[in-house]
Structures are given as structure tokens and as C-alpha cells.
Amino acid sequence: MKKHLQPEDYLKKILTARVYDVAVESALEPARNLSRRLHNKVLLKREDQQAVFSFKLRGAYNKMAHLTPEQLKAGVI
């Protein structure tokens, strides 16, 4: 049975993920038109500012950081 994560578990996973040495901390950018349209403050997280222009860098790096030495020796495609 799969355990459901609690909000504090997500925060711990985020803060301990081994991606911060390869990922750039991207800023939040105001979405002015969308904010006006929705009558609310909308901010966009610009992951397209990463070197590979996507969030995939973090997921792939974090996955590889958790591979066993045997798995790393077998290689990654």
C-alpha cells in the first residue's frame, strides 16, 4: 500500500533534494494580464530559465542521485 505524503513531507523532500548544485533558482514573475483578468495576483515560476529550459533537469538529476552504485555502473539511457 502506497503511503500518502503529508504537506510537511513534501517540504522536507523539496529541501533535501540533491538538485540545488545543478539547478538555478528561478524567480517568480508577475503575470500582469492574467492577474487583471482573474482579479487576483498571479505569479509564474519560470522553469524555462533553467539551462535545459525545463523542470526535467531536477527530476532526472534527483533520480540519478538516488541510484545505487550497481545501477550507475549499468549505465543510464
Tell me: the pLDDT tens digits for 17-59?
777 777 777 789 999 999 999 999 999 988 777 776 666 777 7
CA atoms lying within 13 Å on the CB side of residue 22: 16
In this predicted model, which residue has the larger pLDDT, 44 or 11?
44
Instruction: Give the predicted TM-score (pTM) of the model.
Output: 0.45
* Cα–chain center distance at 73: 26
pLDDT at residue 2, rounded to an integer: 66
pLDDT at residue 55, rounded to an integer: 61
25 neighbors 17 (Cβ within 8 angstroms): no
Q: Is 10 exposed, middle or buried, given 0-12, 13-18 or 19+ CB atoms closer than 10 A? A: exposed
Please determine, for residue 4, whether its predicted confidence score (pLDDT) is greater than 90.
no
10 neighbors 4 (Cβ within 8 angstroms): no
